[in-house]
Amino acid sequence: MFRDRTQAGAALAAALPEYRRKTNVTVIGLARGGVEVAAELARQLDQPLDVLCVRKVSMPGHPELAMGAVAPMGERFTNRRLAARLPAPVIDAAYDAATAQAREMDERLRGGVPMMLIGRVALIVDDGAATGASVRAALAAVRNAGARQTVIALPVLPRLAAERLSRECDRLVALRDPQRFHAVSQFYEIFGDVGEERVRDLLAAAKPAVEIPA
């Protein structure tokens, strides 16, 4: 188990020493919990930190079951097996709502500034993943922002999901890849909610990836 998200970020930094002070790397934390992990990783690697406001798209009536995920500029991932149970208008409405939420959060946390990743290594970080839906939406977003290489770094990811996700990026680092998996929280001693104010504080204390308008 990890003590908390900060300790998980330190463990990831220990697994990725080749990125320390490399000149073309941006660490990208998925809002909100992933930013705590990413902030410690970026600090130890001496790299700029950015945030990506990906929103989960839940199955109607089942808020914990992810049908997919969407990024602020509309990049999306859809679990087609789950989506096949629903009519197209219901799917479109769910994605429209999630996209609006992602854009609103992006405006609050980043001022809506476009991601600056042309020619860079995008090191995508979350506090863990169950299905990988949010990470897949993030992959699409960083590629559209011009990333030259995509590296996914996660403290924990189920083994089956890790096998699939490793084929979709340039490199995957998962510190734990259990076969038995219930929830990301079971791998942390402390796993409280991370608010937007905490995210702002972490971004303010880090080496900036972009200049956020006042």
Q: What is the tens place of the pLDDT at every residue in 32-88?
A: 999 999 999 999 999 999 999 999 998 887 777 789 999 999 999 998 888 888 999
Whether 93 maps to a domain, the answer reads no
Nearest to 133 by CA among 13, 6, 32, 30: 30
DSSP 188: B
Q: 144: domain range?
A: 5-54+109-205
Q: What angle do CA 147, 66, 69 make, to 5 degrees?
A: 25
Whether 62 maps to a domain, the answer reads no
Q: Please check whether residue 119 is in contact with residue 91, taking contact to mean a CB–CB distance below 8 angstroms.
A: no
Distances (CA, A) of 189 to 2, 3, 30, 162, 192: 6, 5, 20, 23, 10
Tokens of 122: 């995008």
Whether 71 maps to a domain, the answer reads no
Q: Report the CATH number at residue 199.
A: 3.40.50.2020
Rg (alpha carbons) of the chain, rounded to whole number: 16
User: What would the mean pLDDT of 194-208 be, rounded to a whole number?
Assistant: 96
pLDDT band at 209 (very low <50, low <70, confident <90, very high): confident
Whether 73 maps to a domain, the answer reads no
**3-state secondary structure labels for all residues of 93-153:** HHHHHHHHHHHHHHHHHHCCCCCCCCCCEEEEECCCCCCCHHHHHHHHHHHHCCCCEEEEE
Q: What angle do CA 73, 52, 66 make, to 5 degrees?
A: 80
d(CA 18, CA 190): 29
Whether 153 maps to a domain, the answer reads yes
pLDDT at 213 over 80: no
Cβ contacts of residue 24 below 8 Å, gap of 6+? 119, 120, 121, 148
pTM score: 0.93
Nearest to 156 by CA among 26, 14, 8: 8
Whether 104 maps to a domain, the answer reads no
Bond from prior residue into 200 cis (ω within 30 degrees of 0): no
Number of domains in the chain: 1
User: What are 129-182's pLDDT values in tens digits?
Assistant: 988 999 999 999 999 999 999 999 999 999 999 999 999 999 999 999 998 898
Whether 98 maps to a domain, the answer reads no
Whether 35 maps to a domain, the answer reads yes
User: What would the mean pLDDT of 86-100 be, rounded to a whole number?
Assistant: 92
The terminus-to-terminus CA distance of the chain in angstroms comes to 39
Q: Please check whether residue 9 is in contact with residue 31, taking contact to mean a CB–CB distance below 8 angstroms.
A: no
